[in-house]
Amino acid sequence: MKNAVITDSEFQNHEPERSVLEKAGFRVIPYNCKTAEELKEAGREADAVLVQYAQITEDVLKAWERCQIIVRYGIGYDNVDIRAAEKLGIWVCNVPDYCLDEAADHTCAMILASLRKLLPYHESIRRGEWSVEGVARPMKSFVNTTVGLVGFGRIGRNVCRRLAPFGFRILVYDPYLKPGMESAFGAARVKSLEDLLRESDAVSLHLPLTPETRHLIDEQALRLMKPHAVLVNTSRGGLVDTVALARALRGKAIGFAALDVFEEEPLPPEHPLRSCENVLFTPHAAFYSDESLARLQRQAAEEIVRWFSGKPPASPVNHPPNPRR
């Protein structure tokens, strides 16, 4: 019998994985690993590993001598050392399409709520006030508002499709986008990130976290944005220098931020963002619906079964030249 180890997860149960893996002859062994040593021990006898947030380093991978495949619960995979896994002959896979609608819905909800200043209105009433203009200004009508999308993959395109009926002018910056693709969604392409930041009233990030994109939104980038602009991030926390963002929010260099992801999660109690009044937080929840969660767990398990049944992985993020068997 083969072992499928779950290193960590926030799921209430693992029935979706068990229903797939146990039927295929796997023993499912869940852990709640917090340290590298716990990870090493958990995976020593693993033939396959499912991971959510644990940091899977080269040192950890070297201890997993039997492991053939790692599946990361989710779209991003920056917590796994992809190149080290490839050198060791271990496939790394993700689940790229389990929550496309949910992530786009959550992003749009954040954009709309931020532009219409729902949170400031709410807080104003809680303070005993009853003011429209005092809270609202400046507030453009949607038909006079520009939304900039940084990255135009599947989620970015879904966001664009949802926003279009509101009448926004939508700009796209994505150096890897095929020419003309944005026009099919009613958007316009800009040549540089700087142009998008200068022109947009709301900026939404839809990028993977890589060495090139880490802190893409830094102090210099924030200075380019309009004083009333909104920054929305439902992608990866490390795209934004959050200490610089906190300074920009406190200094009114930008108007508002809506964040679902953070450089460190949970957001530390002492982080300066927590003292900012002009920010909306959600706890890395953009992926969630009852249906998407079950879909994520099931599809992650199906990737393992696919590999051990002799088929190539459906969603690999590396390609080991000499995969383990």
d(CA 255, CA 278): 7
Phi, psi of 64 (to 5 degrees): -95, 75
d(CA 159, CA 106): 9
Peptide bond into 266 cis (omega under 30): yes
* Burial class of 186 by CB neighbour count within 10 A (0 to 12, 13 to 18, 19+): middle
Kindly calculate the radius of gyration of the chain based on its CA atoms and give it in whole angstroms: 21
Phi, psi of 70 (to 5 degrees): -120, 130
Q: Return the active site residues.
A: 236, 265, 284
Amino acid identity for residue 282 in this structure: T
238 with 215: CB under 8 angstroms?
Answer: yes
